[in-house]
Structure 1
Amino acid sequence: MKTGLKITAFAAALAGAFGTAYGVGQTFDPVVAERPPAHEERHPSGAGESEHGGTAAAQAPGGLQISEGGYTLDLDTPAVTAGERAELRFTVREADGRAVDDYRREHDKELHLIVASRDLVTYRHLHPERAPDGTWSTPVDLPRAGGYRVFADFTPDRPGAENLTLGADLAASGPYSPRELPRPSATARVDGYDVKLTGALTPGRAGELRLTVSRDGKPVTDLQPYLGAYGHLVALRAGDLAYLHVHPEGEPGDGTTRPGPHVSFTATAPSGGSYRLFLDFKHNGVVRTAAFTVEAGKAAPEKPASTSPGHTESPGHSDGHGH
């Protein structure tokens, strides 16, 4: 490698998305974030078009498009500096450019915001606040340089409106070093908790994923509600970061759903391949995230995967999440 070679944030994002091999363990020169064109140039001209200008398939997975169904994710903060706290700002706009100001509350929130690195090592589930003009904002601190994907999961409060997940790219400047996707495992460890995954993602068919939480070898039977359930699960496909809608089975107070140790979800994989699962659960007032790598259609091996900074990096907030 020639000295002085600079990797732009765009190149870093492409490296994460397409798996370009730079060599494991090497450290690269700083990523330099370049601001994209003005807002009107970043908006596709019509609903259903991808951010690259092509028409999306009717049943495409969520998060792959910046515009869908007449709504567009307008990311006002396309670049941040790795390791520095920044304010992430965005607006969801209707086809005429107006900001959406009415949302249906789902899982206790009007909008769920997920930020994940292209290598699926860093994950954030943030809770932004909406200003009267429709602009959403939240603090964010991303630990490593490279390409990230921002997902806005919401349902407009309009007759007949369906749930949407829109995605946009985010760049973090700084020294960039690629990391490999953690190996598949059916067990994750985080802050003294063990979380075991049973079930499998099956391409094209809905299936049950059950996660069992224990601590010090004992089942945790007093999980606390978080986002309207005893757990919140996000699944992302490695490579393009397609966002899977995963629905919990039962809810607190329904008379049948128990507060642990089991938390069950129904999920459908759009294709074969590797996926990263992120389970948020709340116990003793703290939200923690357990992460798993799974292969769609295959059972995960039993070897535990530690949810440590070397695997899934979570924010430094006291509850593990941004508010």
Structure 2
Amino acid sequence: MGHRFLLACSLVVAVGAIALLALGTRSSSADPEHTMPAMAGMDHGGTAMPGAASPGAGGMPGMAGMAVGDGLTAERDGYRLDSRVGDLPAGQAVGYPFTVIGPDGRPVTDFADAQTRKLHFYAIRSDLTGYQHLHPVMAADGTWTADLAALEPGDWRLYASFTPSGGPGRNREFVLSRTVTVPGPATAQPLPAATDSATVDGYTVAVQGDLTAGTAGPLTVTVSRDGRPVTDLQPYLDSYAHLSAFHQDDLALAHLHPITRLDGDHGGPTLTFYALLGKPGNWRVYLQFQTAGQLHTAALTLHVA
């Protein structure tokens, strides 16, 4: 009788844990004060991305990252990133026009806020240099224009991350991309070796965590300046940091946010991310954080086993 009672209690605890995990994976990332971001490698409806193992019951709640897909296609589940521009000039700021076409063949004009923005736009050259993270403005007809800073010659991939407010993709975050060519002599930069720290604008960012492809794992980021812990991080996009990671081989994109709760302009020195990156190899990471109204972008290379 005692053994049966213990077994029943164990089942109740297990079911409860799974239920809590399910709630965590479906939480909106719009309010880090009260909810955990969605799990990396899954959309808000629980669909696993290609190349990433499903976290299942053993996953960690609070993981944020890639949504539907890994950002390497222009079309998914009826949604298409559309642009007639295939070449952009080198060495000058330029606007890149595009639209998001829905399953009905029409431009999508109704988007949900994700981290305080209707759409996030990223640009990266094929050698993982030239990172840009923008928030374009949409015209009434559904045309977006991303105001890109000057681009170096070479091949570039441009990503759009968005969440439709209606239609079959309602409340699912999509990441789609297209490629463009910037004419001119291009010199590829070698990828810096994997490291656990980077310096930007006098700040040192240290990263701890051993990541294995397809396995959920924590990343701990500590921010310091002149050897002293930084505790005045300001909210940026409804969080204390934004992390974009690009895979060296194919430029797959992951974007992550810390699960650290907001406390006004008192963030830091430690931020915790949970990542589920589906591919082994080197990832180029761009970590953005804000202090005294200034946005800082630290870059480093992480290796995923």
**For this structure pair, what is the TM-score category when the shorter chain's length is used for normalisation?**
0.7 to 0.9
Return 152-161 or 95-104, whichever deviates more. 152-161
Q: Equivalent residue of 2:184, what SS?
A: strand
**Structure 2 match to 1:39:** none
Return 286-295 or 140-149, whichever deviates more. 140-149
Deviations 1:79-116 (A, max 9, x none): 21121111111111112321111111011101110101
Q: What is the aligned counterpart of 1:175 among 179, 185, 201?
A: 185
Q: What is the aligned counterpart of 1:166 among 176, 189, 200?
A: 176
**Taking structure 1 as reference, are residues 58 and 231 closer, same or farther at Cα in structure 2, changes over 3 Å only?**
closer
**Structure 1 match to 2:208:** 198
**Structure 1 match to 2:118:** 110
State the one-letter code of the partner of 2:205: V
User: Structure 1 residue 150: deviation in Å?
Assistant: 0.6
User: Structure 1 residue 138: deviation in Å?
Assistant: 2.5
**Taking structure 1 as reference, are residues 263 and 75 closer, same or farther at Cα in structure 2, changes over 3 Å only?**
farther
Q: What is the aligned counterpart of 1:252 among 248, 259, 262?
A: 262
State the one-letter code of the partner of 1:107: Q
**Taking structure 1 as reference, are residues 86 and 275 closer, same or farther at Cα in structure 2, changes over 3 Å only?**
same
User: Structure 1 residue 200: deviation in Å?
Assistant: 2.7
State the one-letter code of the partner of 2:286: F
Deviations 1:174-228 (A, max 9, x none): 2211211111111101111111011132211111111111111111101000001
- Structure 2 CA distance for aligned equivalents of residues 161 and 104 of structure 1: 7
- Structure 2 CA distance for aligned equivalents of residues 227 and 183 of structure 1: 29
- Structure 1 CA distance for aligned equivalents of residues 98 and 204 of structure 2: 36
* Residue pairs, 1:138-153, within 5 angstroms: 138-153=146-161
- Structure 1 unaligned residues grouped into runs of 5+: 1-56, 298-323
**Structure 2 match to 1:277:** 285
- Structure 2 CA distance for aligned equivalents of residues 180 and 163 of structure 1: 32
**Structure 2 match to 1:25:** none
**Structure 2 match to 1:186:** 196
Identity %: 39
- Structure 2 CA distance for aligned equivalents of residues 200 and 98 of structure 1: 44
Deviations 1:224-252 (A, max 9, x none): 00001000011111111111242421342
**Taking structure 1 as reference, are residues 95 and 280 closer, same or farther at Cα in structure 2, changes over 3 Å only?**
same
- Structure 1 CA distance for aligned equivalents of residues 226 and 171 of structure 2: 45
Confirm whether residue 133 of structure 1 aligns to residue 135 of structure 2: no
Q: What is the aligned counterpart of 1:219 among 213, 218, 229?
A: 229
TM-score, length-scaled by structure 1:
0.70
User: Structure 1 residue 78: deviation in Å?
Assistant: 2.4
- Structure 2 CA distance for aligned equivalents of residues 283 and 250 of structure 1: 16
Confirm whether residue 291 of structure 1 aligns to residue 299 of structure 2: yes
What is the aligned length? 239
Query: Is the CA contact (8 Å cut-off) linking 1:245 and 1:267 kept in structure 2?
Result: no
Query: Is the CA contact (8 Å cut-off) linking 1:235 and 1:243 kept in structure 2?
Result: yes
* Residue pairs, 1:23-172, within 5 angstroms: 59-60=50-51, 61-158=69-166, 160-172=170-182
Q: Equivalent residue of 1:81, what SS?
A: coil
**Taking structure 1 as reference, are residues 253 and 104 closer, same or farther at Cα in structure 2, changes over 3 Å only?**
farther
User: Structure 1 residue 58: deviation in Å?
Assistant: 6.4
Query: Is the CA contact (8 Å cut-off) linking 2:138 and 2:144 kept in structure 1?
Result: yes
User: Structure 1 residue 142: deviation in Å?
Assistant: 3.2
- Structure 2 CA distance for aligned equivalents of residues 258 and 158 of structure 1: 36
- Structure 2 CA distance for aligned equivalents of residues 72 and 251 of structure 1: 34
User: Highest CA radius of gyration, 1 or 2?
Assistant: 2
Query: Is the CA contact (8 Å cut-off) linking 1:76 and 1:88 kept in structure 2?
Result: no
- Structure 2 CA distance for aligned equivalents of residues 217 and 77 of structure 1: 47
